[in-house]
């Protein structure tokens, strides 16, 4: 209807306004609930063109629309807003049309350019955690939404499988893993521990010894013991210590933090990890074998977690492959003056003209940094997919600066497609107990959290559900569907840009803005349709205000899918589905459906119910959430 109105106004602009008009002048909004109308056109943009009062302008435009558009019955002008009343047949025709379309609201498949969506992108030194869950569910959902908008989509991740943090887990396992009675160190096979969790255990173990060594170093320095430490380090320590004199408590704390960082950089275990990284880049056989073995454990663990999440990927990239291309690009950029080298041999880029600062792209020892890898990965992806139009990076907002720099570097290297790269920045997930810290082992493990919500769903369903006649296997599948649906919905109903507090108890509640509430409504409708049998053919009938409100909401679905794709926001679809089921439940509780005595009304209400269930299924499916037939 909005498109029809736009076309009529544009086509008749000369006769109505005396000049052509731009489409952006035509603005719609939802009609206020305290006035009559199904759609509201904002009149104010046209007042100057018509040189009359808003009320007169509304009368002129409303009269034209009633004359030219069949289904606009009448209109009312209220304070510069034109409220249009649309005939019942329009809504019934819309119901007939959506009934014919299994994927109502979706664009033609592969009708738009190829887009790549990156999400997850874990480090192989620890298991996935709650923060990863928001990332993964968000990225997967955005990929599905872009598909629904007609894009060909490539779902991908870059696995951060190299670097100093990976060497930390490797070194700690070598140094601190206990030997069993067969003389073997701990492995997933001989302990039964999931591979990613076992490796993560040693990342935490490294940090314990690292902090202890730094503490001992500071104690030695405080006692005047400086043997074996570089002169410049000792001089810096003495300078910092002297600077604490006559400082306030806050300033002293800041200086102590700098001393701690200075000591950490001298910790023997960190120096060993740095040496291991250099050996890895030189492909030292022993280090490389350890790396492939431990990464293999982690990949098996990740695969099990992704399966439980119900997500997948079309293409995997590995930092261990792409960092070399990144180093080559840095070397080429150095020749062309894009980068510059400092006296210590490190390579940088100066972005001060862009309002940023200098950024390291290669360390003085020749090893790569994250930026090096990301440059290489981006170029590699465009080589793999020449038709690629854009890359969407799903990464937390603490990396906003990183992606500004990345896109600028790619532009300066001459890659025009860099302007189509987009950082889907999202807020962190907090817990009632505070922020998670993986080095300290205080994260909420993704596997444990998913297991917990599924167990809570089991308890809730056994207490309140209707699962009679279901086999145990069917019940287990239902518990998983409800628990995972509740978890995903809870993490995606909030605008991605907002930081959020996660409460697992709330996620599986049957009331309120939750996944299980929406799932239950779908199951209720499916039960209704099973009992009703054949729906029949729709005929012209009068519709009640409650029915019209549902139909209006259903008609909005295609535009919501479009907006969700444009804004990369699953939250728009989540909250759309919630509003839809609220409208339906109000209708269901107050108006007879299956027991309606008039056949034509019964048919219409069953068809309405059927398409509500379909749109709930479609919208939740775009969030990666399944809806049950019975609950």
Q: Which tens digits make up the pLDDT trace of 277-298?
A: 999 989 999 999 999 999 999 9
- Report helix, strand or coil for 583: helix
Q: Report the top-level CATH class of 2-86.
A: alpha beta
Q: What average pLDDT does range 129-155 have in this prediction?
A: 96
Contact 425, 397 (CB under 8 A): yes
365 pLDDT above the threshold of 90? no
| Residue 46 to residues 21, 40, 43, 583, Cα–Cα distance (Å) | 9, 14, 6, 34
Give per-residue pLDDT as tens, 465-488: 778 889 999 999 999 999 999 999
- pLDDT band at residue 433 using 50, 70 and 90 as cut-offs: low
pLDDT of 113: 95
Give per-residue pLDDT as tens, 138-149: 999 999 999 999
CA–CA distance, 588 with 139 (Å, rounded to integer):
35
The tokens describing 421, both together, are: 């790269």
pLDDT of 441: 47
| Residue 98 to residues 11, 105, 555, 602, 614, Cα–Cα distance (Å) | 28, 8, 9, 18, 10
How does DSSP assign 124-181, residue by residue? TTS--BHHHHHHHHHHHHHHHHHHHTTEEEEEEEEEB--SHHHHHHHHHHHHHPPP-T
Which of residues 156 and 536 earns the better pLDDT score? 156
DSSP state of 434: B
pLDDT of 436: 43
- pLDDT band at residue 52 using 50, 70 and 90 as cut-offs: very high
431 pLDDT above the threshold of 80? no
CA–CA distance, 609 with 441 (Å, rounded to integer):
48
209 pLDDT above the threshold of 80? yes
pLDDT of 324: 85
21 pLDDT above the threshold of 90? yes
Outline where DSSP puts E strands in 22-67.
28-29, 39-42
pLDDT of 438: 43
CB burial readout 438-460, b (16+ within 10 A) else e: bbebebbbbbebbebbbebbbeb
| Residue 78 to residues 42, 545, 549, Cα–Cα distance (Å) | 10, 21, 21
CA–CA distance, 397 with 117 (Å, rounded to integer):
17
Least confident stretch, 120-124, 428-432, 471-475: 428-432
442 pLDDT above the threshold of 80? no
Give per-residue pLDDT as tens, 485-510: 999 999 999 999 999 988 888 888 88
Going by CATH, does the domain composed of 164-229+266-429 fall within 3.10.20.810?
no
Q: What average pLDDT does range 175-183 have in this prediction?
A: 94
CA–CA distance, 21 with 17 (Å, rounded to integer):
8
The superfamily CATH assigns to domain 448-621 is Isoleucyl-tRNA Synthetase; Domain 1 (1.10.730.10)
pLDDT of 439: 45
């Amino acid at each position: 209807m909005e498109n029809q109105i736009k076309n009529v106004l544009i086509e008749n602009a000369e006769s109505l306004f005396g000049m052509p008009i731009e489409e952006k002048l035509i603005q719609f909004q939802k009609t206020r609930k305290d006035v009559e109308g199904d759609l509201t056109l904002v009149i104010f943009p046209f007042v100057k063109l018509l040189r009359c009062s808003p009320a007169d302008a509304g009368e002129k435009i409303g009269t034209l629309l009633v004359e030219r558009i069949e289904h606009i019955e009448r209109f009312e002008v209220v304070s510069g807003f034109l409220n249009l009343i649309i005939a019942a047949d329009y809504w019934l025709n819309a119901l007939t049309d959506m009934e014919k379309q299994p994927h109502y609201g979706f664009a033609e498949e592969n009708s738009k350019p190829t887009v790549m969506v990156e999400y997850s992108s874990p480090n192989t030194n620890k298991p996935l955690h709650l923060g990863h869950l928001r990332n993964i569910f968000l990225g997967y959902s955005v990929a599905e939404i872009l598909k629904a908008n007609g894009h060909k989509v490539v779902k991908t991740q870059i696995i951060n499988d190299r670097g100093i943090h990976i060497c930390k887990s490797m070194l700690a396992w070598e140094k601190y893993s206990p030997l069993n009675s067969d003389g073997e160190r701990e492995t997933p096979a001989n302990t039964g521990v999931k591979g990613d969790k076992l490796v993560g255990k040693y990342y935490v173990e490294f940090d314990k010894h690292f902090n202890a060594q730094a503490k001992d170093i500071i104690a030695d320095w405080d006692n005047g013991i400086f043997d074996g430490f570089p002169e410049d380090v000792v001089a810096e320590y003495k300078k910092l210590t002297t600077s604490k004199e006559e400082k306030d408590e806050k300033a002293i704390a800041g200086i102590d933090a700098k001393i701690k960082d200075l000591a950490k950089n001298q910790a023997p275990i960190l120096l060993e990890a740095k040496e291991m990284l250099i050996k890895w880049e030189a492909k030292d056989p022993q280090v490389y074998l350890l790396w492939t073995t431990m990464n293999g454990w982690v990949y098996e663990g990740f695969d099990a977690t992704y399966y439980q999440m119900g997500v997948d990927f079309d293409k995997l990239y590995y930092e261990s492959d792409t960092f070399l291309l990144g180093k080559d690009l840095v070397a080429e950029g150095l020749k062309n003056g894009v980068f510059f080298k400092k006296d210590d041999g490190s390579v940088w880029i100066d972005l001060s003209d862009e309002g940023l600062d200098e950024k390291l792209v290669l360390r003085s020892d020749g090893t790569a940094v994250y930026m090096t890898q990301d440059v290489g990965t981006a170029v590699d992806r465009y080589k793999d997919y020449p038709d690629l139009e854009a890359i969407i990076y799903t990464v937390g907002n603490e990396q906003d600066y990183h992606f500004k720099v990345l896109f600028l570097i790619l532009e300066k290297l001459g890659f025009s497609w860099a302007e189509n790269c987009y950082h889907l920045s999202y807020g962190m997930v907090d817990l009632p107990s505070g922020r998670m810290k993986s080095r300290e082992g205080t994260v909420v493990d993704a596997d444990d959290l998913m297991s917990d919500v599924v167990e809570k769903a089991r308890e809730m369903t056994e207490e309140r559900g209707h699962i009679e006649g279901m086999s145990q296997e069917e019940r287990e599948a239902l518990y998983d569907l409800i628990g995972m649906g509740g978890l995903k919905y809870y993490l995606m109903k909030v605008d991605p840009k907002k930081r959020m507090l996660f409460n697992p108890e709330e996620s599986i509640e049957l009331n309120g803005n939750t996944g299980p509430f929406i799932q239950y409504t779908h199951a209720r409708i499916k039960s209704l349709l099973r009992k009703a049998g054949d729906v029949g053919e729709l005929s012209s009938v009068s519709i009640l205000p409650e029915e019209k409100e549902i139909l209006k909401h259903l008609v909005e679905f295609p535009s919501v899918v479009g907006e969700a794709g444009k804004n990369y926001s699953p939250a728009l679809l989540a909250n759309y589905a919630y509003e839809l089921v609220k409208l339906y439940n109000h209708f269901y509780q107050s108006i007879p459906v299956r027991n309606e005595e008039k056949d034509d009304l019964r048919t219409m209400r069953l068809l309405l119910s059927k398409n509500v269930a379909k749109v709930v299924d479609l919208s939740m499916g775009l969030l990666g959430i399944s809806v049950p037939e019975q609950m």
